[in-house]
C-alpha cells in the first residue's frame, strides 16, 4: 500500500496540530471559539437573565436545525418538511456552527456506511476519543459531497455553501447588540457548548462494546445537556433503526426532536414521517 493510501486510512496518526489540506480554516475557527469562550467566562462568568435567555434560545433553535433537519430529514430521509421550515432550520443549524448541509450530510452518511471500521472518519475505536470528538473535524479529508449527497450540491443547497462564512461570522458577533457580555455568551460560549454537545455523539456514544463492528450505545444522562437535540443520546437506537425519524424508541426515552416533528406533522408542516420498525 502506498504512503498516500496509508495517510488516507490513518489520518489520526498525524500530529494533532496539523490540519488536512483545505481544513486550516476549520482549525482556526475551533481555536478561536475556544479562546474567546475562555476569555468570556473569565470576564462574565454569570450572564444576565436576558443574555442567558437569548443564549439558550439560539442554542435550542440550532439543536432543532441539526437533529431534525440535518440528521433526520436530509441525512436519512425519514421525513419531509415544508420548504420554508426546512430552510429556516438549515439557517439555524449553520448559525449554531454545524456547517453547510451538504458537508454535514456527506460526513454522516459516510460514517453510517463504514461505522467503526478504519474507513469511518469519526470513530473512537480507530483514532481514540479525541480523534472522534474533535480532531477529525480538521484532520480528515474534505467531505466528498458529490459521492455521498449529490442532491445537496445544487439549487438552494448550493447557496448555503456560499453563505457558510457570512452566517458563522454573524453568529459570532450578533451578541454585540447586547453589549460585550452578549458578544461572548451569544457568540463563542454558545458555539463552544453546541460544538461539544454534537461532538459527544461522535465520541462518547461510540465507546460501547462492538456488535457486528458497531460500537454505538445509548447514554441517558447526555440528553439534558443537548437541550432540543435531546434524543441524539439514544445513539444505539439510531444505528439499529436509522430509517426512523424517532430516536427515543421507549416511552421513557425523551426525544425532543421527535416531539417537534410530531407537532409539525400535526399542523401539516411535516409529512412522510417514518416510524420505527415493528419489533
Strand partners, 218: 234
For the cut 90, the answer to whether the pLDDT of residue 107 exceeds it is yes
Q: Which pLDDT belongs to residue 6? A: 42
Mean pLDDT along residues 153-165 = 95
CA R_g for the chain? 18
- For the chain, percent helix, then strand, then coil, each to nearest 5? 65, 5, 30
Range in 5-9, 69-73, 148-152, 264-268 with the lowest mean pLDDT: 5-9
For the cut 60, the answer to whether the pLDDT of residue 115 exceeds it is yes
* Cα 70 to Cα 73: distance, rounded to the nearest angstrom: 6
Mean pLDDT along residues 144-170 = 96
Structural domain for 84, as ranges = 25-271
* Cα 203 to Cα 215: distance, rounded to the nearest angstrom: 10
* 10 occurs within a structural domain: no
* 19 occurs within a structural domain: no
* 144 occurs within a structural domain: yes
pTM for this predicted structure? 0.94
**In which residue are the cell numbers 418538511 written?**
81
Q: Which pLDDT belongs to residue 175? A: 98
* 245 occurs within a structural domain: yes
* 279 occurs within a structural domain: no
* 1 occurs within a structural domain: no
For the cut 50, the answer to whether the pLDDT of residue 276 exceeds it is yes
Q: How many domains does the chain divide into?
A: 1
Joined together, the cell numbers standing for residue 162 give 456560499
Answer with the residue of higher pLDDT: 5 or 125.
Answer: 125
For the cut 50, the answer to whether the pLDDT of residue 245 exceeds it is yes
Q: Which pLDDT belongs to residue 5? A: 46
* 9 occurs within a structural domain: no
Q: Which pLDDT belongs to residue 2? A: 44
* 83 occurs within a structural domain: yes
Confidence of residue 211 (pLDDT cuts 50, 70, 90): low
Amino acid at each position: 500500500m502506498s504512503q498516500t493510501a496509508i495517510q488516507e486510512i490513518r489520518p489520526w496518526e498525524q500530529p494533532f496540530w496539523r490540519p488536512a489540506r483545505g481544513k486550516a480554516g476549520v482549525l482556526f475557527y475551533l481555536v478561536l471559539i475556544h479562546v474567546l469562550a475562555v476569555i468570556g467566562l473569565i470576564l462574565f462568568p454569570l450572564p444576565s437573565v436576558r443574555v442567558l435567555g437569548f443564549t439558550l434560545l439560539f442554542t435550542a433553535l440550532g439543536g432543532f436545525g441539526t437533529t431534525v433537519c440535518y440528521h433526520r430529514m436530509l441525512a436519512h430521509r425519514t421525513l419531509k418538511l415544508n420548504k420554508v421550515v426546512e430552510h429556516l432550520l438549515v439557517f439555524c443549524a449553520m448559525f449554531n456552527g454545524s456547517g453547510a448541509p451538504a458537508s454535514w450530510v456527506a460526513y454522516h452518511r459516510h460514517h453510517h456506511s463504514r461505522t467503526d471500521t478504519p474507513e469511518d472518519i469519526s470513530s473512537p475505536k480507530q483514532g481514540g476519543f479525541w480523534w472522534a470528538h474533535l480532531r477529525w473535524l480538521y484532520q480528515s479529508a474534505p467531505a466528498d459531497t458529490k459521492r455521498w449527497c449529490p442532491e445537496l450540491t445544487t439549487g438552494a443547497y448550493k447557496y448555503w455553501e456560499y453563505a457558510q462564512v457570512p452566517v458563522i461570522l454573524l453568529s459570532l458577533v450578533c451578541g454585540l447588540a447586547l453589549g460585550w457580555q452578549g458578544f461572548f455568551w451569544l457568540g463563542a460560549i454558545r458555539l463552544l457548548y453546541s460544538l461539544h454537545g454534537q461532538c459527544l455523539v461522535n465520541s462518547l456514544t461510540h465507546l460501547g462494546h462492538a456488535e457486528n463492528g458497531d460500537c454505538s450505545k445509548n447514554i441517558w444522562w447526555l440528553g439534558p445537556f443537548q437541550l432540543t437535540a435531546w434524543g441524539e443520546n439514544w445513539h444505539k437506537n439510531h444505528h439499529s433503526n436509522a430509517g426512523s425519524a424517532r430516536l427515543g424508541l421507549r416511552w421513557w426515552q425523551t426525544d425532543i426532536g421527535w416531539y417537534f416533528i410530531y407537532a409539525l406533522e400535526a399542523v401539516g408542516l411535516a409529512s412522510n414521517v417514518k416510524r420505527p420498525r415493528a419489533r
